[in-house]
């Protein structure tokens, strides 16, 4: 692994939370596809590209992960003069709980081979916020290897 063992990548588009598994009447377990399959695929491809550009191999030790979810505001939050007074300053639960959003990202990074398993994560910072008026929705991920860090 290179001496610099961290990288950042961005996935454009609305973040998608990992849905909860469901059970149908016949007892069959399934996970609803709320767009999570395409979102995870985008994370997988972007993370592999970023790791390849940095010439990083699979991370084997403890890692730190920072994830920023920028969520598009509903149109009802905007008025002619900007943000309406009744608009909430932070995303509602409808946009996904922070842990369900992070779960999808971490699962995709495992599938991408960035690390062996997400149990290597020893520190995580997750920010979830609304986009500004002209800012696109996106997910930004920074991963750092902590193997070389002093104890």
DSSP assignment of the chain, as one string?
A: --SS-EEEEEEES---PPPPPEE-TTS-EE---SSHHHHHHHHHHHHHHHHHHTT---B-S-EEEEEEEEEPPPGGGEETTEE-TTS-SS--GGG--HHHHHHHHHHHHHHTTSBS-GGGEEEEEEEEEEPPTTPPPEEEEEEEE-TTS--
Residue 19 lies in a domain: yes
State residue 149's pLDDT score.
Answer: 53
What's the total number of domains in the chain?
A: 1
| Structural domain that includes position 30 | 6-145
Residue 151 lies in a domain: no
| Residue 84, domain member (yes or no) | yes
State pLDDT tens for residues 16-51: 999 888 888 988 888 788 899 999 999 999 999 999
In a domain, 1, yes or no: no
Average pLDDT, the chain: 87
**Which CATH number do you get for residue 12?**
3.30.1330.70
Q: Write the pLDDT tens digit of every residue in 95-122.
A: 778 999 999 999 999 999 999 999 999 9
Q: How confident is the model over 59-86, as a mean pLDDT?
A: 86
């Amino acid at each position: 692994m290179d001496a610099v063992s961290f990288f950042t990548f961005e996935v454009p588009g609305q973040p998608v939370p990992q849905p909860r598994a469901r059970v149908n009447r016949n007892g069959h377990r399934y996970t609803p596809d709320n767009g999570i399959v395409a979102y995870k695929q985008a994370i997988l491809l972007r993370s592999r590209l970023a790791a390849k550009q940095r010439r990083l191999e699979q991370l084997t030790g403890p890692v730190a992960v920072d994830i920023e979810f920028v969520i598009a505001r509903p149109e009802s939050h905007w008025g002619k003069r900007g943000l309406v007074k009744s608009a909430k300053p932070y995303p509602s639960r409808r946009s996904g709980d922070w842990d369900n959003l992070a779960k999808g990202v971490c699962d995709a990074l495992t599938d991408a081979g960035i690390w062996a398993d997400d149990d290597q994560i020893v520190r995580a910072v997750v920010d979830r916020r609304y986009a500004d008026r002209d800012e696109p929705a996106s997910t930004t991920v920074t991963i750092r290897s902590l193997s070389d860090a002093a104890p």
